[in-house]
């Protein structure tokens, strides 16, 4: 849920420091807020807000949505309003520094997160932040979901990063995603939720849906007790090649230096690569899972033999 910033004037920036607010603003066009294109964007934002609420990705006044309609103009949702209740007249427009330039309601206190994404990723036109329960569960646990289990997830989302926790609505919080958003279109926000960017508001919301469904499936599969099935390396490379042709970002397309860095629970990928003789993190993960399956397969007959011996010798109660 968004933390409400201190109330600012219609032309001021919520939560901005005096030095930041005193900067001369870049040129903006308030008339963009009333164009036919803006009206379509507003309707799409309201429709996506309703989807987020219906799918239980947001509660209370939580979550926020934005669209970059001009070089320095961003339409966004207001603070303190349920996404189910959004109407086009409720929306706001801010510049890339967070100064409100249109709209009668105060802009969301987490707009700074969206603006940092737009500045870092020029091709990003829309951003959606929400709290889908299974994906947020991974964010609270501080782990990322494993890869190469469902093809749609690899195509549309792929490798997921976790941004460190900071207080929502602050500039420090907004900047936590900067190391990740160029190579990840969807990022887990530790102890908070998810943010995703795309060319349209609808596509950004789809990314959140894909991630949430995937996290739900993986969590359910783990409870069944059987080894999880992994897509083969060759088939996985086919998926990545298709994704690259579609122009979608993925850290696995980046240079080795861009892929180095710490991942939750596992140390650094650079260290993993060195230990594995130059293999990348995805290859190491595949090998570890394959070896685990083979070890479990070898242990299964031994376990069965031990159980049979116990039954025949009366050393243990008979299992039913």
d(CA 95, CA 15): 14
**What tens-digit pLDDT sequence spans the chain (320 residues)?**
555 444 443 344 444 444 444 567 789 999 999 999 999 999 999 999 999 999 999 999 999 999 999 999 999 999 999 999 999 999 999 999 999 999 999 999 999 999 999 999 999 999 999 999 999 999 999 999 999 999 999 999 999 999 999 999 999 999 999 999 999 999 999 999 999 999 999 999 999 999 999 999 999 999 999 999 999 999 999 999 999 999 999 999 986 655 654 434 433 333 333 333 344 445 555 565 666 666 566 666 656 665 665 666 655 445 44
Burial (Cβ within 10 Å: 0-12, 13-18, ≥19) of residue 319: exposed
Catalytically annotated residue among 44, 73, 110, 205: 110
Contact predicate 291/267, CB 8 Å: no
Catalytic residue list contains 40: no
**What dihedral do alpha carbons 146, 151, 153, 159 form, nearest 10°?**
50
Count of alpha carbons within 13 angstroms of residue 242, beta-carbon side: 14
- Max Cα-Cα span within the chain: 86
Q: Do 52 and 8 contact (CB within 8 A), yes or no?
A: no
Let me know: does 2 contact 108? Beta carbons within 8 Å.
yes
Q: 218, 146 in Cβ contact below 8 A?
A: yes
Against a cut of 0.85, is the pTM above it?
A: no
195 in helix, strand or coil?
A: strand
The pLDDT assigned to 6 comes to: 40
The whole-number pLDDT of residue 288 equals 59
Tokens describing residue 256 = 């080795």
Give pLDDT, residue 102: 98
Cβ(116)–Cβ(122) below 8 Å: no
Q: Tokens standing for 17? A: 């420091």
């Amino acid at each position: 849920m968004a933390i409400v910033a201190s109330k600012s004037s219609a032309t001021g920036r919520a939560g901005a420091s005096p030095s930041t607010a005193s900067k001369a603003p870049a040129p903006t066009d308030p008339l963009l807020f009333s164009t036919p294109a803006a009206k379509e964007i507003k309707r799409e934002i309201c429709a996506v807000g309703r989807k987020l609420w219906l799918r239980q990705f947001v509660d209370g006044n939580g979550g926020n949505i934005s669209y970059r309609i001009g070089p320095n103009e961003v339409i966004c949702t207001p603070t303190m309003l349920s996404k189910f209740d959004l109407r086009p007249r409720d929306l706001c427009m801010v510049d890339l520094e967070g100064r409100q330039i249109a709209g009668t309601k105060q802009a969301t206190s987490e707009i700074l997160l969206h603006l940092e994404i737009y500045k870092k990723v020029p091709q990003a036109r829309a951003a959606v932040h929400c709290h889908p329960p299974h994906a947020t569960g991974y964010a609270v646990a501080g782990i990322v979901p494993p890869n190469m289990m469902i093809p749609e997830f690899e195509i549309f989302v792929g490798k997921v990063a976790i941004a460190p926790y900071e207080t929502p609505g602050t500039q420090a919080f907004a900047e936590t995603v900067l190391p990740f958003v160029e190579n990840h279109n969807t990022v887990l926000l530790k102890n908070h939720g998810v943010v995703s960017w795309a060319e349209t508001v609808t596509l950004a919301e789809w990314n959140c849906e894909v991630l949430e469904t995937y996290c739900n499936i993986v969590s359910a599969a783990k409870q069944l007790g059987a080894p999880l099935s992994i897509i083969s390396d060759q088939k996985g490379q086919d998926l990545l090649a298709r994704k690259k042709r579609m122009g979608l970002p993925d850290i696995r397309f980046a240079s080795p230096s861009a892929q180095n860095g710490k991942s939750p629970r596992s140390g650094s990928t650079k260290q993993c690569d060195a230990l594995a003789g130059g293999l990348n993190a995805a290859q190491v993960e595949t090998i570890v899972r394959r070896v685990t399956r083979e070890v479990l397969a070898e242990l299964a007959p031994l376990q069965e033999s031990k159980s049979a011996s116990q039954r025949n010798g009366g050393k243990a109660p008979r299992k039913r």
